Amino acid sequence: MERDDVYEYSLDTHHSEEEGKKVRKKIWFVTLLLTVVTAVEVVLGAMVKQGSSAWTTVKVLFILLTLLKAGYIVLTFMHLGDEKKVLKWIVLLPYLIFIVYLMFIAFTEAMAVGPAM
């Protein structure tokens, strides 16, 4: 019986000329996206001053845009999006749990130690 959960090594992942074209199209799209997002961040960073009324919104926007950029780099450039689901989670989940926990602890503590922003 054929089983669909048995995989060969990825050593010989090759693709054809046409598939290559598709892959490259995606790469250039992500390039454009990363460049535009960075440009938007710089313009916003130079225009909106810290402490102004719009600053909090911009700060949250910066973090969201950063996560967007990181997502595209990891999923497209590092091809994690093409890997098996189990590998995706083995890479991402421990990291997310540890880092979110660390951030929670550090920032809670920081607000107790020093003046809040």
Partner 1 sequence: MSGHASNEKNTAAPWGGNVSPFRVSYGKLMMWFFLVSDALTFGGLLVAYGYTRYTFSGQWPIGEETFEALPFLGNGYPLAYVALMTFILIVSSVTMVLAVEAGHRMDKKGVIKWMLATIIGGFFFLGSQAWEWSHFIHGTHFGSVELKDGSRAIVKGSFGEIEGFEVIQSGAHGPAKGEMITNENISSEEGDLMHAFHHAAEQGHLEGSAGNLKIHLHDGTLAKVHKAKDENLELLVKEAGTKYAVSLPSDPETRITEDEGSVDKYYAALTRGDVIYGANMDQNEYGPQQYGQFFFFITGFHGFHVFSGVIINIIIFLGVLKGIYHKRGHYEMVEKTGLYWHFVDLVWVFVFTFFYLI
> Do 68 and 36 touch, CB atoms closer than 8 A?
no
CB of 89 to partner 1, least distance (A): 11
Residues contributing to the site for partner 1 (CB under 8 A): 3, 5-17, 20, 23-24, 27-28, 30-31, 34-35, 38-39, 41-42, 45-46, 49-52, 55, 59, 62-63, 65-66, 69-70, 73-74, 76-79, 83-84, 86-87, 90-91, 94-95, 98-99, 102-103, 106-107, 109-111, 113-117
CB of 109 to partner 1, least distance (A): 7
* CA distances, 13 to each of 3, 9, 30, 82 (Å): 20, 8, 22, 12
> Token pair of 19, please?
């598939």
CB of 97 to partner 1, least distance (A): 11
> Do 44 and 62 touch, CB atoms closer than 8 A?
yes
Residue type, 20: G
